[in-house]
Amino acid sequence: MAAIIKIKPLGFPWETSDPFLFCAYHEDQYPKGNGKLGPDASLEGRNIGQDFTLKDGWRMYHGTKIPGFPAHPHRGFETVTIAQKGLVDHSDSLGAAGRFGNGDVQWMTAGKGVQHSEMFPLLHTQKENPFLLFQIWLNLPRDKKMVEPHFKMLWSEEVPKIKKQDEHGYATEVTLIAGKLDDITAPSPAPDSWAADPNNEIAIWTIKIDPNATFIFPTASKGINRSLYFFKGTEVTSEGYTIPVHHEIILNADQEFILKNGNTEAHVLLLQGKPMNEPVVKHGPFVMNSQIEIREAIQEYQQTEFGGWPWDSYDHVHSPSKGRFALYPDGTEIKK
């Protein structure tokens, strides 16, 4: 049996399979900062507050002065935010906060409800601020939809990077955000996550493949959903197909898959996991199992704002002098 089920172009956001909900991929070549954590450039001609058009190589998203996503609610799923380049300032309705980036990952369980803001501060005023981020929405099963919100940091220094060489000495580097490769396991995910049970075979890997390198993907169990997102490079080949960049490759996880890169360094995201096979009802930032639960979520948010907003602004950012850190709801602060 062939490993490849289907090859299809990537849209925005990227479509995913159960237990994932989608993946948003953001790459922006932000200019120098203006000393107030925003871009040192005119914002004229942009749809401020709703700027998703790639103009001059970057976007403001929902930000008005600083790029990013001011305070917004979530319920019923998890966000896994991989900040490969640049920084993210996190603030939330539990009073928790953080600044992370340049390889760090934040794993947030929204559970019964949380508000958070995700701003992209442009710290460098003497040089550009390149930015590359994935945000993966991972569903929560019915019995975990209403757990207490939680976030944890997977700091870059703690996330395993595994280098494998093919028979010609060409290398592939796998960064293990979730799952395992050989005898190496990723850091533990958030405790109520579908990924916390190894039987669900969740894998989130970012993969960098040298020009002309061949990489053999190990098998997983039958019935596990597995997709590769080829987002940077030129082309790869497998099973007689030549696959151009900006394509998703949907795979039979129980079949060994051999991928050969072309003559440009390639970057791929792997998402894999056991499906929940539960009803999914989405309404903006809420993901539940029924329309009634969605209505309850909207009503509760209107009444309680999931704890309100303890910060001075909805697009709250931290001091330019702050390094990477995480402040948890119980007051514990970790500095990196």
Q: Which of 46, 48, 135 is nearest to 90 (CA)?
A: 135
pLDDT at residue 127 in the model: 98
Compute the average pLDDT of residues 247-255: 98
Q: Give percent of the chain above pLDDT 70.
A: 100
Compute the average pLDDT of residues 45-74: 97
Q: Are 195 and 178 in contact (CB under 8 A)?
A: yes
Model confidence, pTM: 0.97
Q: Are 155 and 102 in contact (CB under 8 A)?
A: no
Give Cα 117 distance to the centre of its chain: 15
Q: Give percent of the chain above pLDDT 90.
A: 100
pLDDT in tens, 222-240: 999 999 999 999 999 999 9
pLDDT in tens, 84-133: 999 999 999 999 999 999 999 999 999 999 999 999 999 999 999 999 99
Compute the average pLDDT of residues 55-64: 98
Residue with tokens 């996190």: 90
pLDDT at residue 10 in the model: 98
Confidence class of residue 1 from pLDDT cuts 50, 70 and 90?
A: confident
pLDDT at residue 186 in the model: 98
Task: Output the CA torsion sign for 198, 204, 210, 211.
Answer: positive
Compute the average pLDDT of residues 183-204: 98
Q: Are 168 and 182 in contact (CB under 8 A)?
A: no
Per DSSP, the three-state class of 178 is strand
Give the containing element (helix H, strand E) for 293: helix 291-304
Average pLDDT of the chain, as a whole number: 97
Give Cα 228 distance to the centre of its chain: 14
pLDDT in tens, 290-322: 999 999 999 999 999 999 999 999 999 999 999
- pLDDT(61) > 90: yes
pLDDT at residue 276 in the model: 98
Compute the average pLDDT of residues 173-201: 98
